[in-house]
Structure 1
């Protein structure tokens, strides 16, 4: 399931490329300004790190699973060292405090930067996807900005559906953070239960040409599934956040651009709202 939010604080404009901001949680179990000349480091699309999209009617590859495995002793040894180092960190960190920090530091924390773009390795934490996976024409790219201190999310949106006689709608681009992993590729989650707002420093592509500090309370996120708002709403599970994503799909065809400095979370003492939407059951008990 995905929690989506399309609200900002009063007086703030919404950058074109952040029409839909989503947080993925374990709730189901889950002409324009030109880009400056900057070094390019493209992020692989989702099809390169997940299962490739297979169109209806297309036969499956007749390849056995073990035939795709590439055996490399040196890489296997590096992987073992990496995972045992992560396992050691998981064991020793609780002796110090949450996430390996002193308890008093954790209790007094008001702001936390979760993602910042300060080098090529920071882009490896994100994955891109667009309607090209289903035959569309939209494009999305991610690269570092000047001096490797920001990142540029840019591309072109095209809502024309592919002429395959099957697909009726098209026109979306998405960037999503990867699922954090513990040792031996066990899934873990972001724990933001000490915070109540998402904090982003971004710059849009024309209608918001200046840097903006955007703070979105977690109480404003609502539950969706495959783009549909669900009837059974409940607050975001802040201790089990899997990923964060940005989706553009507003039928405004053409180029888009979003520059991101950092993405973090913060604790706003002035915000006391728990959940902004009505909670009810479709078949309440009498």
Structure 2
């Protein structure tokens, strides 16, 4: 049976096998029924095998998905025949324009990525690097906000606005009410602010080469008493590890006073979409492509976190502390 989805405007075709017994052999044919007008007609594949008819129906459904109608399929194939050859493209100068507009910028970016990030061998003690300065509006535009309302799960809201005092406000309202149970999420009540994902040359993920010299992340914040979560996204080329990240809890104080949170990289633990991995590894800053801050304390009500800047600092007192958690030898075939 070959069915089309109900949302499609194309007709639903049902294949019903019929068998005719003759003197020499048994032949099979297909009676096709059109669901639009309830008409029946025999297919042209009367003497074909079941596998051949299955392939024909599969090929027809693929063409309908790609082109919509047979007329569009013929028009697409006609355009493909009228495509210019590679020699003709070179003669008209289109290949040189492609090299100048597309390939040359990507090659230039790739060459810059191959160069060392800094000529110095290493940074000194207490040297720091500002990676996100929210005094500039251009930096705020590089960050986005996502809540459970965007996922169709809950009713939480959030926004990211300048405070007018050289900082950014991550504020909103958290609601743990579930409005849709048929989703991948088993709970609601979350809001996330995340930076844009770094992209390298030829659509490949970029690397934070300068982060390897530092040991801590430094956040200048003014919170509301809630606890948040700082995340470093480290997607791998394998789709199984595309959602890998390293997280650490960020505790804030209530009141009008500013505070500085200093978190070592060795305390970040590995997880995948909120699930803590059984096999832990130390965080490698080189693999980070995106950073995010989320509120996940499951407490309904308004929240507000003001951030002035995010920096990296090198503290030589922690240079021997590679990973703060114990390592276990797991049995084979375990989940990671």
Which of 220, 223, 227 lines up with 1:204 in the alignment?
223
In structure 2, distance between residues paired with 1:209 and 1:199: 19
Residue 279 (structure 1) aligned with residue 327 (structure 2): yes
Alignment of 1:219-258 (within 5 A): 219-258=266-305
In structure 2, distance between residues paired with 1:140 and 1:266: 30
Please name the residue that 2:36 is paired with.
Answer: none
Q: Is the 8 A contact 1:196 1:266 kept in 2?
A: yes
In structure 2, distance between residues paired with 1:91 and 1:113: 25
The one-character-per-residue Cα deviations of 1:87-121 (angstroms, maximum 9, x if unpaired) are: 536535766xx33x4x1385448211111113322
In structure 1, distance between residues paired with 2:159 and 2:265: 28
Which of 175, 190, 200 lines up with 1:172 in the alignment?
190
The one-character-per-residue Cα deviations of 1:177-233 (angstroms, maximum 9, x if unpaired) are: 221123454320223211111111111126153111111001111111221222111
Q: Using CA pairs below 8 Å that are at least 6 residues apart, which structure has the higher relative contact order?
A: 1
Which of 118, 131, 137 lines up with 1:114 in the alignment?
131
Measured at CA, do residues 165 and 229 of structure 1 come closer, stay the same or move farther in structure 2, by a change above 3 Å? closer
Residue 88 (structure 1) aligned with residue 108 (structure 2): yes
- Number of residue pairs the alignment of both structures matches: 211
Q: Is the 8 A contact 1:204 1:257 kept in 2?
A: yes
Q: Is the 8 A contact 2:161 2:170 kept in 1?
A: yes
In structure 1, distance between residues paired with 2:302 and 2:112: 48
Superposed CA RMSD:
3.4
Please name the residue that 1:31 is paired with.
Answer: none
Q: Is the 8 A contact 2:215 2:265 kept in 1?
A: yes
In structure 2, distance between residues paired with 1:178 and 1:60: 35
Q: Is the 8 A contact 1:84 1:183 kept in 2?
A: no
Please name the residue that 2:154 is paired with.
Answer: 136
Q: Is the 8 A contact 2:192 2:293 kept in 1?
A: yes
* CA drift at 1:64: 6.4
The one-character-per-residue Cα deviations of 1:34-65 (angstroms, maximum 9, x if unpaired) are: xxxxxxxxxxxxxxxxxxxxxxx996999969
* CA drift at 1:175: 1.1
TM-score, normalization: structure 2? 0.54
In structure 2, distance between residues paired with 1:136 and 1:178: 24
In structure 2, distance between residues paired with 1:83 and 1:177: 27
Please name the residue that 1:104 is paired with.
Answer: 120
Q: Is the 8 A contact 2:152 2:180 kept in 1?
A: no
Q: Is the 8 A contact 1:83 1:183 kept in 2?
A: no
Question: Any unmatched runs of 5+ in structure 2?
Answer: 10-63, 68-96, 226-253
Alignment of 1:139-150 (within 5 A): 139-147=157-165, 149-150=166-167
Q: Is the 8 A contact 1:129 1:175 kept in 2?
A: yes
Q: Is the 8 A contact 2:148 2:190 kept in 1?
A: yes
Question: Any unmatched runs of 5+ in structure 1?
Answer: 1-56, 66-76
What SS does the aligned partner of 2:199 have? coil
TM-score, normalization: structure 1? 0.63
Give the greater-gyration-radius structure (CA). Answer: 2
In structure 2, distance between residues paired with 1:59 and 1:245: 37
Please name the residue that 1:152 is paired with.
Answer: 169
